[in-house]
Structure 1
Amino acid sequence: MPTAAHNTAIDVPRGLKGVIVTETALGDVRGTEGFYHYRGFSAVELAEKRTFEDVWQLMFFGTLPDASQRAAFAAQTAAPRHLPPAVRDALPAIARATALSGPLTGLRTALSLVGAAAGFRPLYDIEPERRRADALAACAAVPTLLTALHRLGQGLEPVEPRDDLPYAANYLYMLTGRDPDPAKARAIEHYLISTVDHGFNASTFTARVIASTGADLAACLVGAIGALSGPLHGGAPSRALDTLDAIGTPDRIDAWLRERILAGDRIMGFGHPVYRTEDPRSRMLKGIARSFGGDLVDFAVQVEARAEAVLAELKPGRELHTNVEFFAGVVMELCGLPREMFTPTFAAARAVGWSANILEQAADSKIIRPSARYTGPPPVRPVPAA
């Protein structure tokens, strides 16, 4: 007999598509308009006009800083870039253990250790100021952890962070050990800002589900990283470049695309579950890629154009546009990032958005507890004797 819980259950689409599960003041994605924002400001315009630290402060505190506030926030977030000895000493072992899976897998362990070493307590038990301090510390540590794990995996010593460099430039510096080219640092900053937040994607929703239990901030971020690691979520930038590699040369574009489209295969770097128009992030990053120029950019633009044309021919009425991963991969390649660091770089940006969502969720202690429809054998089955 159905229980009371079953009587009050509500059927929703698979994957919760289109279902509103909470309210947020952090931002929104308007897929039919090809637009998304952070606290009412166009995310693309923020990337073009502001720094990563400015957007970080906007997401955490609700306002964009003036010059003096910017300097104070930069100083506040520079200090926790430096890892405590207990964490730093453990990184070589973590890098060895995750040698086959890469820095993003290592980040899960390392970030959990950061939270433990710093004494992160359950969100449920601490005040908003302490929650925000934990979030600032965790977000500041992510680039240091990622670059250290990557370099250790390459047989290189980690590079200590510099307090005088902004977030994006410091990330490139710790990755390469060299002063970053300003144009490349700014290009990466554009990318980082454009991927801070993007609605209730899988990793953000995961972070909020964990936050709704009152768990500590590191636990929430570790869960989000796990969701991001899936190839259908954050794992696509390098795979989009793999698509270009598989096509190889311009004369093979149409044949390769036709084969994949007719077979119903997914083409990495194309399509988005929300946007029904051009992804605004892709449009911005395409412009950045073109500012660098070169054969890779020309080839990517050509593939994009032919993909839209071939789909229009084979599947009339069905639109297919590049998503953020397609030209993000091109830009990161041009800026010298190794492909195994593409998705970790995504995480270095999204950690700020995750944390802002975690802080917002922690202000509402209602646990997220949906239901499921049982489809197994009818109960109650007799238990056979052994």
Structure 2
Amino acid sequence: MTADTTATAAPLTVPAGLAGVLVAETAIGDVRGTEGFYHYGPYSAIELAQRRTFEDAWFLMRTGRLPSAAERTGLLEQVGRFRELPPALTALLPAIAKAGNDFHPLAALRTALSFLGAHDDVPPLWGSPPADRAAAALRVCAVTPVLLARLYRLRNDLPVVEPEPDLPTADYWLRAVTGAVPDPDHLRAIDAYLVSTIDHGFNASTFTARTVASSGADLVSAVCGAIGTFSGPLHGGAPDRALDGLDEIGSPDRTRDWVRAKVSAGERIMGFGHAVYRTADPRAVLLREIGRSLGGELIEFAVDVEKEVVAGLAELKPDRELYANVEFYAGVVMQQCGIPRSMFTPTFTVSRMVGWCAHILEQAADRKIIRPSAAYVGEPPKRPVPASGMSHLR
């Protein structure tokens, strides 16, 4: 007996955005949205940002434990060696930096990394030794700030700051972008920001990276997929837009009217609300305090605006719990530290690259491809297919 092909399959229940759907197991970290808490392995991410360095958290992502002083030094030595660019890529960067009427740093990074992957003969994850995968991940993470800073300065006709192999990432990044030796307070602020944004659960870019990795493709292909996802304004591309909102408001007394106008127009208020948190975003709380420690009119203005926006959203959208997210105060802190707005999201990328690579390596150990299903909502199939009258095909 043949199967009845006309039977209708039971409809699938698909939560919007796959919210709450478990797609994998991970030992890297987790976000507990109802508690306002997230962690890397067994450690609170916020406590790590307050007490340890970016390189410590990077080591944790690679090994599952925090380093000794000697191990931290060893990691820095490896990173310093991997910062060196091949001459062929160095020669190509000016053309990448000057491409297009507008500068899109993540698109430029994606292009440069694709070339580097080909140049370095980065092998497919499928079948390659774990040591080779880990080396490729370290290379990509180490070179990302070099490429982003150089592309920015080339685009703006500024002298390139050559990488110094012995500098920690935050120190190198501030020098490479601004062209100046950083203030110690700014250095600590950016280091804490980098630690706090390495990983944040199965967000869209991390899921993209793992999906590409599950196919067995090479690591650079996986990070390029993540970069493309991350560039969207609903994901990593929001810190500069959140600060643009402060510019539009101008003064705290105009905030409530600004919020009403945005909500009435159906526009999203960048820097507020989160897909997971139903409490204050702990990263925003951390960065607010860092901003306050740096001082100045901008942070005081931002704090006043935050209070007014939260109150306005509570009034206009009482059924939703909307608070400031990481992007709101990230932009404030980066501006306080002298980072230009076009480099806000690239700064985020420098840290998140470490998290993406950790997830890619974890996914590469699983030999099953990610292949979800979809609920078909189109017209039912028509049978038979009508004749076309194309007699010449007979």
Fold similarity call, TM over 0.5: yes
Q: Is the 8 A contact 2:252 2:308 kept in 1?
A: no
The C-alpha deviation readout for 1:112-155, integer Å capped at 9, x for no partner, is 11111111000002111110000000100000000010001001
Work out which of the residue numbers 131, 136, 145 in structure 2 matches 1:134.
136
Q: Which residue of 2 aligns with 1:184?
A: 186
TM-superposed deviation, 1:96: 1.5
Counterpart of 2:306, as a letter, is E
Q: Is the 8 A contact 2:148 2:346 kept in 1?
A: yes
SS in 1 for 2:38: strand
SS in 1 for 2:39: strand
Q: Distance in 2 between matches of 1:2 and 1:257?
A: 56
The C-alpha deviation readout for 1:328-366, integer Å capped at 9, x for no partner, is 000001111111111111111100000000000000010
SS in 2 for 1:123: coil
Work out which of the residue numbers 278, 294, 297 in structure 2 matches 1:295.
297
TM-superposed deviation, 1:294: 1.4
The C-alpha deviation readout for 1:4-52, integer Å capped at 9, x for no partner, is 9x85985321211100001000000000000000002000000111111
SS in 1 for 2:370: coil
Q: Distance in 2 between matches of 1:263 and 1:376?
A: 31
Q: Distance in 2 between matches of 1:100 and 1:43?
A: 35
Identify which range, 309-318 or 10-19, moves more after superposition.
309-318
The C-alpha deviation readout for 1:50-93, integer Å capped at 9, x for no partner, is 11111011001111001111111111111111111111111011
1:93 aligns with 2:98: no
Q: Which residue of 1 aligns with 2:161?
A: 159
Counterpart of 2:285, as a letter, is R
Q: Is the 8 A contact 1:98 1:105 kept in 2?
A: no
1:214 aligns with 2:212: no
Q: Distance in 2 between matches of 1:309 and 1:331?
A: 23
Q: Which residue of 1 aligns with 2:228?
A: 226
Query: What is the correspondence of 1:184-263 to structure 2 with a 5 Å cutoff?
Result: 184-263=186-265
Q: Which residue of 2 aligns with 1:337?
A: 339
Structure 2 residues not aligned, in runs of 5+: none
Across the aligned residues of Structure 1 and Structure 2, the Cα RMSD in angstroms comes to 1.9
Question: Residues 98 and 190 from structure 1, CA distance in 2 versus in 1: closer, same or farther, beyond 3 angstroms?
Answer: farther
Q: Which residue of 2 aligns with 1:107?
A: 109
TM-superposed deviation, 1:319: 2.1
Q: Is the 8 A contact 1:290 1:297 kept in 2?
A: yes
The C-alpha deviation readout for 1:249-298, integer Å capped at 9, x for no partner, is 22211211222234443110000000000000000000011011111111
Q: Distance in 2 between matches of 1:177 and 1:156?
A: 9
Q: Is the 8 A contact 1:92 1:149 kept in 2?
A: yes
Identify which range, 248-257 or 54-63, moves more after superposition.
248-257
Q: Distance in 2 between matches of 1:45 and 1:132?
A: 26
TM-superposed deviation, 1:100: 1.4
TM-score, normalised with respect to structure 1 = 0.96
1:315 aligns with 2:308: no
Work out which of the residue numbers 374, 382, 388 in structure 2 matches 1:384.
388
Q: Which residue of 1 aligns with 2:326?
A: 324
TM-score, normalised with respect to structure 2 = 0.94
Q: Count the aligned residue pairs.
A: 386
Question: Residues 3 and 142 from structure 1, CA distance in 2 versus in 1: closer, same or farther, beyond 3 angstroms?
Answer: farther
Q: Is the 8 A contact 2:60 2:66 kept in 1?
A: yes
Q: Distance in 1 between matches of 2:155 and 2:133?
A: 32
Q: Which residue of 2 aligns with 1:278?
A: 280
TM-superposed deviation, 1:101: 3.6
Q: Which residue of 2 aligns with 1:23?
A: 25
Q: Which residue of 2 aligns with 1:363?
A: 365
Q: Is the 8 A contact 2:12 2:375 kept in 1?
A: no
Q: Which residue of 1 aligns with 2:45?
A: 43
Identify which range, 297-306 or 316-325, moves more after superposition.
316-325
Counterpart of 2:186, as a letter, is K
SS in 2 for 1:239: helix
Identify which range, 124-133 or 94-103, moves more after superposition.
94-103
Q: Is the 8 A contact 1:307 1:320 kept in 2?
A: no
Counterpart of 2:174, as a letter, is L
Q: Distance in 1 between matches of 2:100 and 2:358?
A: 28
Q: Distance in 2 between matches of 1:175 and 1:292?
A: 20
Question: Residues 12 and 3 from structure 1, CA distance in 2 versus in 1: closer, same or farther, beyond 3 angstroms?
Answer: farther
Identity of aligned residues (%): 58
Counterpart of 1:74, as a letter, is L
Q: Distance in 2 between matches of 1:111 and 1:53?
A: 22
Question: Residues 85 and 101 from structure 1, CA distance in 2 versus in 1: closer, same or farther, beyond 3 angstroms?
Answer: same
Question: Residues 144 and 99 from structure 1, CA distance in 2 versus in 1: closer, same or farther, beyond 3 angstroms?
Answer: farther
SS in 2 for 1:29: strand
Q: Distance in 1 between matches of 2:203 and 2:270?
A: 17
TM-superposed deviation, 1:313: 3.0
Counterpart of 1:241, as a letter, is L
The C-alpha deviation readout for 1:144-182, integer Å capped at 9, x for no partner, is 000010001001232111112101110111112221211
Q: Is the 8 A contact 1:120 1:217 kept in 2?
A: yes
Q: Which residue of 2 aligns with 1:73?
A: 75
Identify which range, 187-196 or 89-98, moves more after superposition.
89-98
TM-superposed deviation, 1:375: 2.8
Q: Is the 8 A contact 1:98 1:106 kept in 2?
A: no
